[in-house]
Structure 1
Amino acid sequence: MSAAQTKMATRSCLSAFLLLLVALEFNIVMGVTLPQCRPIVATDTDLIQFALNLEFLEAEFFLFGALGRGLDDFAPSLAQGGPPPVGGRIADLDPLIRRIIQEFGYQEIGHIRAITQSVGGIPRPQLNLSDESFAAIMNRAMNTTLNPPFNPYANSINYLLASYVIPYVGLVGYVGTIPDLTRRTSRSLVASLLGVEAGQDAVIRGLLYERANETVRPYGMTVADFTNRISELRNRLGMCGVKDEGLIVPVQLGAENRTTSNILSADANSLSYSRTPPEILRIIYGTGSERSPGGFFPNGGSGKIAMRLLR
């Protein structure tokens, strides 16, 4: 190929790349939904049962963290024959945090019961609540190998940061589910569940915000640094733009562009973000793919939606 032809080919590739960028920017500005971000087609029952995957995860993590025991001790029938979680254990929490997390755990039992009684249950999926599971997430979020490995059960700060990873995902999932529900009873149930999930997330974020400038020992990074990096990771894994923000944000992302505090994560109109089931799975699997299990769900989620996407 001559120099002139090479130069022309280079210009053609550059032009094609620029056109791609322009098209992507046009899609964003015009509100065009990318294929991986579109809602899925599913029944009310399947959509609500999908949420049980997050409810099981939260119930087991909170119960083990506060009490050292899980669903099999408190409400074994709700597990629907699913395998017990691995790696969960009692955390070294101060009395106030332990009391709060204990309440959260009991609330999650109620959520599982309410969903099961309303639309039927699904088997509890295999859950991995081990130190290694959380350490892998934190390493990826912080873009380094933390030394020593992050231990969610070591102290109150670590446990709250680990808790920051989970309930918000369930919250945005419920927000994304409501518009796709057809029955009034379904919308009423999900709205009630959403209210408590939002409250839990707000409490966790509020407790962490009080400690935002504290250093997470021995890593030399602040609580706010961790939350910002975790939120950035969830945005990358979800693959559908910014729907997650840490505790401290640039003023242009704060409420009415007037604050850098971000105790409640919300959009430009201070409305809750929403996510679809595929987005949720990409995040909780930690793989960025709804078809590749991992993270907290080594064998994938339960229910028709998770299993359909896995296949």
Structure 2
Amino acid sequence: MALTATSTATITTLLISLFFLPKLCSSEFTIDHHHRRFAKADVDLLEFPLNLEFFEAEFFLYGALGYGLDKVAPNLTKGGPTPLGAKKANLDHFTQDVILQFAYQEVGHLRAIQKVVKGFPRPLLDLSKESFAKTVDAAIGKKLSPPFDPYYSGVHFLLASYLIPYVGLTGYVGTIPKLKAPSSRRLVAGLLGVESGQDAVIRAYLYEHAKEIVSPYGITVGEFTNRFSELRDRLGHQGRKDEGLVVPLAEGAEGKINGNVLAGDADSVAFDRTAEEILRIVYGSGDEKKPGGFYPKGGNGRIARSHLL
């Protein structure tokens, strides 16, 4: 049967569409070094965590080794400024071993993200004992004497470390549903797995010592974690998304236990946070538009910088 003019036009249009379809689709994706496709819409979401990964890498490296990325992997810094006030911590052998493992894991995280997206220079980080002391004072509600020093001992360093990976992992939980490409979700899920493991190790160690008094403050390890979690909730402004190591019975798993070695909601599912909540917390200002705290000049990348315009 002969084709009508209308059917001929339809077929022609379809063929032209099929010819251009790969080009149209490819414009929505970027290709990494392993030839995996990542949605361009995911780039900002994949870059933002570099702010936290830089923080963790530097804090752990300096704590364990006394030096950071400038010596270990200078190419990953992309010329960003050297952190302020970071130094080697007075760690026992076990804690030194664990923190060094964390440090090199964070180097891998930075590399994994930068394989996929261009990234940005390391932001200016204030990792001085004075910076940590201000955060701890805000959590406790008064100035501690002597000021809290994260580099003083293994317990002090792990308490300071309690402030870091958990914020990042809640950000990864919040990011995954927003990602378009399966390869993007796979990357972030992999990062989340290790960040969650780090947080679990830190919490487990601190939980074992939860009832011990942190000298010379007369405050237990468990109470420090509770105060840190309360501070993060206050700064985040999005309700309860944080829990210390010892909670009221009603808030424990299934409402049946006070111990809280892992944090989670009523169904023991991990909490999530947005980039804006994370900025409010790490800036210590409760406002994503007001940098400070550990990030004196704010975070880098389009998401962080867009709030500073």
TM-score, L = length of structure 2 = 0.87
Which residue is equivalent to 2:201? 203
Superposition pairs for residues 65-84 of structure 1, below 5 Å?
65-84=63-82
Show the counterpart of 2:100.
102
Correspondence for 1:149 among 147, 150, 153: 147
2:259 aligned partner, one-letter code: S
Aligned length: 270
Residue 43 (structure 1) shift: 2.9
Query: What corresponds to 1:240 in structure 2?
Result: 238
Q: Are the equivalent residues in 2 in contact too, given 1:78–1:121 (CA < 8 A)?
A: no
Equivalent positions of 1:1-311 (< 5 A) are 43-311=41-309
Percent sequence identity over aligned pairs = 59
Q: Distance in 2 between matches of 1:81 and 1:226?
A: 36
Q: Deviations over 1:137-176 (max 9, x none)?
A: 0000000100000000000110010000111000000000
Q: TM-score, normalised by structure 1?
A: 0.86
Question: 1-side partners of 2:165 and 2:293: how far apart?
Answer: 15
Cα shift readout 1:73-104 (whole Å, capped 9, x = no counterpart): 01001001111101000000000000000000
SS of 2:116's partner is helix
Contact 1:64 1:70 in 2 (8 A): yes
CA distance in 1, matches of 2:282, 2:92: 27
- Pick which of 287-296 and 115-124 moved more: 115-124
Query: What SS does structure 2 have at the residue aligned with 1:43?
Result: helix
Shift of 1:120: 1.9
CA distance in 2, matches of 1:262, 1:220: 22
Partner residue of 2:31?
none
Rounded Cα–Cα distance in structure 2 between residues aligned with 1:277 and 1:50: 8
Q: Which runs of 5+ in 2 are unaligned?
A: 1-39
Letter in structure 1 aligned against 2:222: A
Shift of 1:122: 1.0
**Letter in structure 2 aligned against 1:233:** L
| Contact 1:85–1:126, Cα closer than 8 Å, also in 2 | yes
SS at 1:288 equivalent: coil
